[in-house]
Each structure stands twice: as structure tokens, then as C-alpha cells.
Amino acid sequence: MDILKILETKLQGKPVEIVPDYLGTAAIKAKEGSYRDVFKALMDADEKTGVTSITGIDLGAALGVFYHVRTSNAFITIQVEVPKENPKLVTVTDITPSAAFHELEVTDLIGVTFEGNPLEGHFVLPDTWPDGVYPLRKDVNPNEVKLNPSPPEEKFEQGKQVKIIIGPQHPALLEPEKFAVFVDGETVKAVQPRIGYVHRGVEKISEFRTYIQDVYLVERICGICNSCHACAFVESVEKILKTEVPPRGKYLRTIILELNRLHSHLLTLGHAGLEIGYETLFHYFWRDREPIMDITEILTGNRVVSSAMTVGGVRRDLKETDVPKIKSTLADLRKRLPFYTKVYREEPSIGLRMKNIGTLKREDALKLGVVGPVARGSGVDIDVRKDAPYEAYGEIPFKLITYKEGDTWARMNVRMDEVEESIKIIEYALDHLPTGPFRVKVPRVVPPGEVVNRVEAPRGELFYYVKSNGTAMPERVKVRTPTFANIPAFLTTAVGEPLADVPPNFVSLDPCFSCTDR
């Protein structure tokens, strides 16, 4: 880990303690406000530095603020402690703008305020939530919290700009979420997000359920990338337990994860067609998505929420007799891909509605810390499957897709090409499926420990932080989902473009708010 060496020399004399091996990643304990120096040193050393998440945690006597930072070849956690009375820190948004949303969320859930953060207000909690009560503190019983009777009135300033509110119920959004778009004539001047309509408090309830129950809970954070959530969580628990999943289990997990990606990408590619008024394309894609749901059902027993992952492996084995069916379905899909690729590359209406729209330059993508197809569409070659291979990805050959354009069109084409790669991965995994057991037995009680874990969900890097205190229930589970990291991209790229380009631009992020809000 050369980045740590660089840091060590740069941070000499600062009250900083570097722990190189902290359950799979490195940790930096920054004392006396030196975390900003660490950030500056990291930014200088590596252009791919971005804040993946900030975990606020109640440590009893103090509050912990853990900055999880991604660099090109390492993953680092910067640990800071603040006293419980008057917990205040200085923002790092001036060093890396990618931290803005994360800081706001920590303020909302655990009550650490960040001086200088440009955003304010409730971010994930309901509008009626009282001030000064933070649900993730251990001494707060959320069921005794008295909600304010009515939410505060929305301020509305009259002027040249008109505020158009999209949501919470809007035909174009499957999920309730509010975006206030300020327009001057046709041109978008600013976008204000309000997430939290689907906030179900998963992080808090997970503390009252056992690890096995939590697998089913985190899986239901999002119906679309459910296997990714379950996988990220069980992997974390396995890391704490130091359990090794048998090879067959790893391959089966990989197949399930890729099926998840296939159906998610097909869903989005179709949805983008719908947003630009190309309904035929929508129906085509959703028709071809159904066979994928069928093979998911063959493999796991359910169409959508698959419940296939469990601590120690997978819950069901794949029958030898099912393999030909899966292969022929994938072959059918592959036959249709050239047509879709042609449509996305050459169809003039797609070009008119997607090219040069919502362009996110490479520098901006790095600065905002976007992930997944959004980053890859802007030419940033990050993919957890390649950067830190998990499950069987290290053994399976596949291409990392990037496009340089950075516009809506490029992001959709990244997904289009990834469909092909996913099919290849599944076929390879089926051909090389190891024999032997598919799961191992694990103890119910997890020893104390903490771990960070990342997987590549269809929308990008999905991050989990799990802390165990030695009982049957976790102490803290933190989830950072890809859309949370990608929303800032929309807020910047939409500005200056006509209102009519907002929907395709927005859909090209493949936003998922159930994930974002948890």
C-alpha cells in the first residue's frame, strides 16, 4: 500500500496514527482536528480520492465520525472522535465536495454538525421530526419521540425564476421523491433535492434484529439490487467471523449478482426509452427482462427478492438439470443484443435526446465522487469488481466498460455494453462451476469487530460498515448506496439545460431512492 507510505511522509509530526491493516482496509486515527490535513494529503496524492461515506456512530462517551475514503488502489477510514456535548466539526466540503450530502446525513441522524457545509435542513428524516433528537444515538428511544404536529411551511420566493416541484407523486418517478427545479424561461437555474420520503430507518432497526434477520432486512432496502445488499452484508459478517465461503458458493453468488445486474440494466435501458417518449423500446426491454426474472426464479425460487444469500454461502444449490435452460435463455438474450446496441448507438431520436445532455466532465466526476456507470460514462475507470475483487470476480475474465463523452448517451451505452459482459460472466461461471459444498455452518454469535465492505451494485459501488459487539445483534450497520453518491452529479449537470432535458438526464443516473433513503 504505497499510498500509506506517501501519507506517512506527508503527515509527519501531525497527531495522526496510521493502522495499515484494519480488517481489510487501512485506518487513520486523526486526533486534534488533523483530519483535514489527512484529506488534503490524500487529495494531493491521488486524483481518484473521494468520500464514499461518513458513518456517525455512538461510542458511548463520545461520538465517532468515520470518513470512508476511496483512492485508486486503497480504501481508507479516517476516524475522528467528538465529545457528545456540542459535537462540532469543520466541514471538508471545501477540500472534497463529495462530502456534502454525507455530512448533512450525519447531522440528521446522529447530530454532529459540520461548520461550513453549504446545505441545511432535514435530509432523510420526516419534516415533522423534532429538532435535537437523533435516532441513531443509543440513548434515544425512537418510539417515544413526539413528532411535530405539522411540518413547517415551505418558503416560496417570488421572482423571475419559477419553482417547479417534481414529486413526491409523479408519473415519471416510480418512487416518491421531491425535486424543486428553478427555471428561468425554459432554462434550469437550480435543483433542490429533498430525499427521505422512503426513509424506513433500516440502520436503526437492524440493531434490534439478529444477523440472520438482518440479511432479510437489508435485502429489502431495495427490490432491484436486493442480492447486492444481501451480499454486501453477509460478506461483512463473514469478514468479522473470518469465515471462508466454499468456492461453489462464491460462484453461485457471482451468478446471482450478475443476474441482478442484468435485470436492473435492462429495466433502466427501457425506462430511459419511456422518458424520451420512445415507448416501444421500453416494452421491448421489459419483454426481454422477463426471461431473466424466470432464471432468477429457477436459481433462487423467487422472481424479485431472491433471499439467496446467507452467512456462509448461498441457501440453495443449482441443479445440474437447470443449467441448459439458463444457458439457452442467455443465448436468446444475446441474440437480441446487437439490435438494442444498434438502437442505442445509431437511432437518431436517441441521439437527439441524449447526446450532449447532462454532460459530466471527468474532473467533475472525480470531484463529486460519483460511482458506477455514471463515473464510467465520464471516463473514470472504477469498478469494485476490478479494484477489489470479491466472490469469484478475481477468477472470471471480463472487460471494464468506459466511455469518454460523459453525457446521458454515454451512461446508457455503458449499461448496454455491461449487459453483454454480464452474460459472459454468467456463462463463464456456469462452465467453471466448482463442485463441493455451497455453504458452511457459522456460529450465531459474532465476535466483536468492525469491518467495511464494498460491492459493485448495478448502479455503482455499494458500501457497508458493520460493527459487532459480540452479541447476536450488530451494534451499527451503515449503508451508503450508489444513488446517494450520484445525486450531486444531477444537481450540477441539470443546471443551464432546458427543462425538457431533465427527465432523460435524471434517468441516466438510474436513481433508486429506496436505496438512498434506506
Partner 1 sequence: MTNLAMWSRLKSPWVIHFNSGACNGCDIEIVALLTPKYDVERFGIKLEPSPRHADVLLVTGSVTKQCAERLKRIYDQMPQPKFVVAIGACACSGGVFQGSYSVLSGVDKILPVNAYIPGCPPRPEAIIDGVVKLLNALAAPPAPKAAEEPQKEEAASEAAKEETVEAAPKLTTEVKPNAKQ
Residue 24's binding partner among ligand SF4, partner 1, none (Cβ under 5 to 8 angstroms by kind) is none
Closest CA to 492 of 334, 345, 366, 328: 366
Cis peptide before 176 (omega within 30 of 0): no
- Grid cell of 9 as nine digits: 511522509
Q: At its nearest, how many Å lie between partner 1 and the CB of residue 148? A: 10
Q: Give the DSSP letter string of 283-327.
A: HHHHHHHHHHHHHHHHHHS-SSS---EETTEESSPPPGGGHHHHH
From the list ligand SF4, partner 1, none, which binds 435 (C-beta under 5 to 8 Å, kind-based)?
none
Q: Is 473 in the site for partner 1 (CB under 8 A)?
A: no
**Rounded Cα–Cα distance for residues 343 and 339 (Å):** 6
Q: Give least dist CB 316 to partner 1, A.
A: 17
| By the rule CB under 8 A, 110 interacts with partner 1 | no
How many contiguous H segments (helices) and E segments (strands) does the chain have? 17, 15
Q: Nearest distance from residue 250's CB to partner 1, in Å? A: 25
**3-state SS class at 70:** strand
Rounded Cα gap, residues 290 and 341, in angstroms? 19
Site string for ligand SF4, 213-242 (x = CB under 6 A): -------x--x-------------------
By C-beta, is 189 or 220 nearer to ligand SF4?
220
Binding letters toward partner 1, positions 153-182, x by CB under 8 A = ---------------xxxx--xxx------
With respect to ligand SF4, which residue has the nearer C-beta, 220 or 327? 220
Please say whether the beta carbons of 63 and 88 come within 8 A.
no
Report if residue 142 touches partner 1, rule: CB under 8 A.
yes
Question: Are 152 and 127 a contacting pair, CB within 8 Å?
Answer: yes
User: To the nearest whole angstrom, how small is the minimum distance from the Cβ of residue 342 to partner 1?
Assistant: 20
Residue whose beta carbon is closest to ligand SF4: 220
Q: Residue 339 burial by CB count (10 A; 0-12/13-18/19+): exposed, middle or buried?
A: exposed
Check residue 305 for interaction with ligand SF4 (CB under 6 A). Answer: yes
Residue 209 touches ligand SF4, criterion: CB under 6 A: no
Please name the residues in contact with 83: beta carbons below 8 A apart, sequence gap of 6 or more.
Answer: 62, 63
Interaction between residue 305 and partner 1 (CB under 8 A)? yes
Minimum distance, C-beta of residue 328 to partner 1, in the bound complex (Å): 18
Min. distance of Cβ 91 from ligand SF4 in angstroms?
Answer: 35
Neighbours of 43 (CB within 10 A): 17
231 binds partner 1 (CB under 8 A): no
Sheet holding 178-184, edge to edge: 162-166, 178-184, 187-194
Can you give the binding site for partner 1, defined by CB under 8 A?
A: 125-129, 135, 142-143, 145, 147, 149, 151, 168-171, 174-176, 196-202, 204-205, 208, 216-217, 220-224, 226, 267, 282-283, 286-287, 290, 293, 303-305, 512, 514
